[in-house]
Amino acid sequence: MGAEARLSVQALSVVPGEIGQLDVTIRNNGTVVDEFRFDVVGLPNDWASFDPPRVSLFPAQEETVRVSFGPPRLPTTAPGALPFGIRALSTEDPAGSTVEEGTLFVAPFSDVVGELIPHAARGRFRAKLQLAVDNRSNIAYRARPSGVDPDEAVALAFQPPYVEVAPGSVSFVKVNLRCRSRLWRGSSVTRAFQVLLEEQDALNAAEAAAAGQPQPAEQPVHPPSILLDGVMLQDPILPRWLMAALLALVLLAIAAVILWFNLLKPQIQAAAQNQVSKQLAKDGITATSPTTPTTPTTPTTPPASTSPGGGQGKGTPTSTTIVSFTINRSLVVTGNSTATFIVPRSYVLEITDVLVQNTAGNSGVVSLSNSGTLLMRWSMVDFRDLDYHWITPTTFAPFAKVQFTLSGCSGSCSAGLYFAGTLVRS
């Protein structure tokens, strides 16, 4: 009684997200008709499927079943050798069930995405942005970022100089931009540049080839390089409103000098002379010169000055300075809840870049709202991550709420929202 099973191959290699197949031949060694069903031991049940899922055999009869292995293309699917067993379960004689063992080699795969946040930086001489590296592979990613600028208009510096990202993680690198030339006045100028991510294994292979050393036997899994495009909008150092304010200050200073010498100073001198003369007369002293007869003088007081327009001309020109700076924030929600960012007082938030992430592949609905007013809504089953870049920013008033809501979620699930933009003084 019992069953006998044989595998077509003892070892099978498969890339996550793809299908690897082998055959198992099952033989009925019993004396009665028996039905056999199959399952996998040592691997998750959803990794393997059987065609057909069960067979019915006469005594001494055998049949071949196709086994398909499909490990999911997720960062949690670690590469390496995994022993497994194909178990044939007998309906008539459970004690006669059999297990045939084999090895499944899960291959490493690469899925790395880089992004500059925000895509367009702005500044007069310097600017800052972030390089986000999302590693969706099942192996770690290490690379060296560098700047590429054929026009040599922008210099780039990175902190840290290397980026290391574990499987299923996101790392950020600070990117400092510096214009090589100054723009004193005029219109803003667009400076285009690129960021190059060079994978560490590819760098090591290139250095070994340059030194004449033997190349490693295994080829790098990750792409040797990733190229990202970026833009910096360089504003003039002296904006137009500043030139107008400086001219107004110069004119105001000239008017103050003229007023001092022609009106205020003579009045002050005359008032001081009168006070001295009154004090001397009160003490009975007459001020005279030893050789020059005293000539009485009467201080002349100029007529009162009336400003044009009833004093309205005394106002000074004023100018409003617009203060702005780049902002980036992350909102993470777990379960059916809402994460909120409140715009600071006296500022207007202008969002230009949005990244929505569902790295765990959960189900549910996420939405982005402006103080309760729905802006966008996404179904989580349709994406792992989505990014949007707007030329015309979405504006949130002072004290407005940037609300990221997760609903329709069953069990433990989470989603993330990363947004970037500019806070402008209102």
For 310-348, write each residue's pLDDT tens digit.
333 344 444 444 467 788 889 999 888 999 999 998 889
Q: Tell which of 55, 71, 106 closes a domain.
A: 106
Confidence band of 301 (pLDDT split at 50, 70, 90): very low
**Same domain? 15 vs 100:** yes
Same domain, 400 and 363: yes
Domain boundary among 51, 74, 106: 106
Mean pLDDT of 135-159: 90
Query: Is residue 329 within 8 Å of 419, Cβ to Cβ?
Result: yes
Is residue 290 domain-resident?
no
In this structure, are residues 348 and 412 in contact, taking their beta carbons and an 8 Å threshold? Answer: no
Mean pLDDT of 143-169: 90
415: exposed, middle or buried (Cβ count in 10 Å: 0-12, 13-18, 19+): buried
Lowest mean pLDDT: which of 60-64, 260-264, 335-339? 260-264
Residue 338's CB is within 10 A of a number of other CB atoms, namely 14
Asked if 234 and 189 touch (Cβ cutoff 8 Å), the reply is: yes
Listed range (68-72, 271-275, 321-325, 380-384) with the worst mean pLDDT: 321-325
Q: Please tell me whether residues 140 and 93 are part of one structural domain.
A: no
Tokens representing 106? 């899960």
370 assigned to some structural domain: yes
Q: Indicate if the pLDDT at residue 252 is higher than 80.
A: yes
**Residues with Cβ within 8 Å of residue 277, at least 6 apart in sequence:** 287
Tokens of 72: 């999911």
401 and 416 share a domain?
yes
3-state secondary structure of 31: coil
Please name the residue that has the structure tokens 């071949």: 64
- Let me know whether 226 and 114 are in one domain: yes
252 occurs within a structural domain: no
Strand, coil or helix: what is 182?
A: coil
Are 386 and 333 within one domain? yes
Q: Does residue 329 fall inside a structural domain?
A: yes
Band of pLDDT at residue 276, cut at 50, 70 and 90: low
Q: Lowest mean pLDDT: which of 88-97, 237-246, 263-272, 351-360?
A: 237-246
In a domain, 197, yes or no: yes
Chain-centre distance for alpha carbon 250: 45
DSSP code of residue 255: H
- Residue 356 resides in a domain: yes
What does the pLDDT look like over 202-249, one tens digit per residue?
Answer: 777 767 667 776 666 567 788 889 999 998 888 887 766 676 777 888
> Per-residue confidence at 266, pLDDT binned at 50, 70, 90?
confident
Quote the CA–CA distance of 399 and 347 in Å, as a whole number.
8
- Residue 292's pLDDT band, with cuts at 50, 70 and 90, is very low
Domain of 175?
A: 110-213+220-237
Q: Provide the pLDDT for residue 217.
A: 59
The CATH number of residue 363's host domain is: 2.60.120
Domain assignment present for 372? yes
Residue 401 has pLDDT above 80, yes or no: yes
Write out the two tokens for 217.
């036997």
Q: Are residues 385 and 359 in contact, defined by beta-carbon separation less than 8 angstroms? A: yes
Highest average pLDDT, of 18-32, 116-130, 269-283, 292-306, comes from 18-32
Q: What percent of the chain has pLDDT over 90?
A: 47
Give the tokens for residue 244.
């107008």
- pLDDT for residue 54 is more than 60: yes
pLDDT given at position 282: 60
pLDDT band at 277 (very low <50, low <70, confident <90, very high): low
> 238 to each of 182, 186, 228, 235, 243, how far by Cα in Å?
11, 8, 31, 9, 7
- In which band, very low, low, confident or very high, does the pLDDT at 294 lie, cut at 50, 70 and 90? very low
Neighbours of 128 (CB within 10 A): 12
Among 27-31, 103-107, 138-142, 392-396, name the one with the lowest average pLDDT: 27-31
Please, is 356 exposed, middle or buried when counting C-beta atoms within 10 Å of its C-beta (0-12, 13-18, 19+)? buried
Structure tokens at 395: 């504006």
Distance (Å, whole) CA 27 – CA 197: 55
Same domain, 185 and 87: no
Q: Measured between alpha carbons, how far is 110 from 101 in angstroms, rounded to an integer?
A: 29
In DSSP terms, 154 is beta-bridged to 179
Q: What percent of the chain has pLDDT over 70?
A: 84
Write out the two tokens for 286. 């007459």
Lowest mean pLDDT: which of 11-20, 57-66, 117-126, 315-324? 315-324
Quick one: 125 and 186 in the same domain? yes
Confidence of residue 297 (pLDDT cuts 50, 70, 90): very low
CA dist 62 → 4, 27, 41, 56, 67 (Å): 9, 4, 22, 9, 16
Q: Is the predicted pLDDT of residue 86 greater than 90, yes or no?
A: yes
Residues 233 and 154 in one domain: yes
CB contact at 8 A, 83 and 42 = yes
Q: What is the pLDDT of residue 304?
A: 38
| 159 and 81 in a common domain | no
Domain count, the chain: 3
Q: Burial of 282 by CB count in 10 Å (0-12 exposed, 13-18 middle, 19+ buried)?
A: exposed
- Mean model confidence pLDDT for the chain: 83
Q: What is the CATH number of the domain that holds 206?
A: 2.60.40.10
Q: Considering the domain boundaries, does residue 158 fall inside one?
A: yes
Tell which of 66, 88, 106 closes a domain: 106
CA distance 412 to 349: 32
φ, ψ for residue 95 (rounded to 5)? -70, -20
State the pLDDT confidence band at 30, using cuts at 50, 70 and 90.
confident
Predicted pLDDT of residue 333: 92
Same domain, 131 and 95: no
90 and 19 within one domain: yes
Asked whether the predicted pLDDT for residue 142 surpasses 80, the reply is yes
Of the pLDDT bands very low, low, confident and very high (cuts 50, 70, 90), residue 172 is very high
